[in-house]
Amino acid sequence: MKLLFVNSVVTGLKRRAAGRPRWQVGAVIAMAVLGSGVSAYALITSSGDRAIVDNVQGDTFQALGGHIVQSTLTNEVIAGQNAQAFQQAFALGDGFFGAKFHAGDGGGANVGVGERYTRMPRADLTGAGQWATHTPARATGPNATGCTGCHNLGGDDGGGDSAANVHRDANHTKALNQMVQRNTPHVFGLGGLQKLAEEMTTDLQNARNAARTALGCGSTTTAGSKTVTLTSKGVAFGTLVITHTSGSTNCTEALSAPVSGGANAVSADLIVRPFQWKGANAFIRDFVRGAAHNEIGMQTTELLGSPTVDPASVDGDGDGVTNEVFVGDMTALTLYQAAQPRPTTRQELASLGIIPALSSAETSAIAAGSTAFDSMGCSTCHVRQLTVNDVIFREPSNNPNFRDPGNVFPNGRSYGSSSLDINNPVSFDLTKDSPENNNIHTANGQTLGAFVRDSSGHATVSLFGDLRRHDMGSGLAEEVDEIGTGKSVFETENLWGVGSTPPYLHDGRAASLTEAILEHGGEAQTARNNFAAASTTTQKNLVAFLNNLVLFKSE
């Protein structure tokens, strides 16, 4: 069919050009083709060309050892071989993160106008299979051929320079002032963050549920009201007023900010969401499948199709490839992210002989900067450390708030239909099992990749954050309220690894830590002013303290 089409077009053009000089014939044909509206773009989406790419370049997943089917992992867990399942998943996740996916794999997407990748959202491309028609709706990209296209500052799994910023047009406005720009954060220690969020969510919801029960919400019609103070792990999340109106079993709730005039620290559902700049995503799987689709054009079957249509038959991004990422692959990528090593410090690396010993001047500056960090008020929000009580990370989680609602994937298929079993998760110990940096042993007998285990068996997560949202003032406000939490509201950025990952702030506007501090406002205005008013020596000490917080991988 392709040859017939080509021949008929050229034959027709030749007839119309009869009698003209041949150079004119050539020009006529070329101009006719270019100006005819025919989609004369070179983009590999056909099965034949994709097969050639696969044959020459090799199937990327095959090179990584092949896709993982979720039932394989689940069956291994059931058979008592959790460690094998975790190892297998981590290895594939590692390969997935580092891979560059090509057309045969389904990497990228049919942006339209011949492009496979774009840093500019193209809501104007509304033709069949083009950017604006992708399923799920696309907000950005695809921006890169693989995860490390952006996560490369401070090593693989690190942050990204400003050149790696992405631009999102969630509402397909086509208007530049309705897009947001996002800098790439590092992904170290994510398992610790999700576990903290799980436990904090449980604390907050338990407090709410106790009050609701006492008021008879859902069961009685007696009027009443209760004010609940929301705290977890020493972090204040504000207050919740629950009101039970007379004559109804329903109750209403009103959430207040922990800081007068500040932002609500958490959403009304009291789910602590540790991922993305505004705290949009609660669990790693949700975050990575969105990123795989939007950033690199690798679509998981969890997003596509419907409960009654085989998702393997759906090509959501018009690139001619279906079934790009299996449920098991997504479990693997999730576990790989969750088991990333904790960030460390230059002082710790020096103590282990990995880097040269720090000078006494540098050590003194870090110590003085640490003191200033507290006295200036930075640690009010950038809380140095929080403790995870249950150190076992599970995928899927045993906390329903950190799975898809109702155990149903976004495409409507149940977890069970893909053998993702909440009773048989693949699991690992945050304080023992990270495969990265496991060849380096710390003074307490653990490995450098593991979270520090305290005497109670709990994991210490030195995140320098509080997993709360804050109003950062008009100076950091965006033109778009990305998730409805407020244009100037962002979640506290965890400072672990900050010495390895400039630039800073949500859009990478701060090339240096000094700039980042000075650009704080809103709830952080006082701390910012304290820094600005300090001596240059004290300011340098604080920056030295922050630069001590680094990423490291031994591989």
Partner 1 sequence: MRSIDMKTFAGAVAAAFLAIAAASCAKVTGEPSGGDTSGVTSAGTPAAAAPLPQSNVSNVGTQRAVMPAGTNPDPGAAPARGEGPATQPSAAVMQAVGSVQAKLDAVTAVLEGTRVRFVDCNESAACSARLEAPSLAGLRDLLQSVSAQQGGIGFVAREQLDAYTGRTFVADVTMGGGQATRPVPTDENELLGN
Contacts with partner 1 in 441-500 (CB under 8 A)?
447, 482-485
Q: Which of 107, 160, 238, 435 binds partner 1 (CB under 8 A)?
A: 435
The reply to whether 320 sits near partner 1 by the rule CB under 8 A is yes
* Per-residue H/E/C for 33-60: HHHCCCCCCCCCCCHHHHHHHHHHHCCH
Token pair for 399: 């906390």
Residue 443 CB-density burial (10 A; 0-12 exposed, 13-18 middle, 19+ buried)? exposed
Region of residue 426 (phi > 0: left; psi between -120 and 50: alpha; otherwise: beta): beta
Name which position in 322, 379, 387, 514 contacts partner 1 (CB under 8 A). 322
526 binds partner 1 (CB under 8 A): no
Q: How many CB atoms lie within 10 A of CB 209?
A: 13
Whole-angstrom Cα distance, residue 494 to residue 193?
A: 10
Q: In terms of CB distance, is 9 or 120 closer to partner 1?
A: 9
Q: Pick from 11, 18, 19, 22 the residue near partner 1 by CB under 8 A.
A: 22
Residue among 290 and 369 whose Cβ is closer to partner 1: 290
251 binds partner 1, rule: CB under 8 A: yes
Residue 208: burial class (beta carbons within 10 Å; 0-12, 13-18, 19+) = buried
Q: Which is nearer to partner 1, 348 or 395 (CB)?
A: 395
Q: How far, rounded to the nearest angstrom, does the alpha carbon of residue 381 sit from its chain's CA centroid? A: 21
Nearer to partner 1, 327 or 381 (CB): 327
Binders of partner 1 among residues 195 to 234 (CB under 8 A) are 202, 209, 212, 217-218
- Residue closer to partner 1 (CB basis): 321 or 366: 321
Examine residue 277 and tell whether it contacts partner 1 (CB under 8 A): yes
> What is the C-alpha to C-alpha distance for residues 526 and 518, in angstroms, rounded to an integer?
11
Determine, following the binding rule CB under 8 A, whether residue 299 of this chain makes contact with partner 1.
no
Bridge partners, residue 504, by sequence = 510
Asked if 161 is part of the footprint of partner 1 (rule: CB under 8 A), the reply reads no
- Name the one range near partner 1 by CB under 8 A: 221-229, 369-377, 418-426, 514-522: 418-426
Q: Interface residues for partner 1 in 25-54 (CB under 8 A)?
A: 25-27, 29-30, 32-34, 38-50
Q: Two tokens at 224? A: 């009443």
Minimal distance, residue 472 CB to partner 1, in Å? 17
Contacts of 434 (CB under 8 A, 6+ apart): 339, 340, 341, 342, 428, 447, 449, 450
Span of 61-69, 143-151, 352-360, 544-552 interacting with partner 1 by CB under 8 A: 61-69
Query: Which residue lies nearer to partner 1 by CB, 267 or 514?
Result: 267
Considering only 229, 364, 389, 414, the residue that binds partner 1 (CB under 8 A) is: 414
Strands ordered across the beta sheet of 459-461: 386-388, 459-461, 452-453
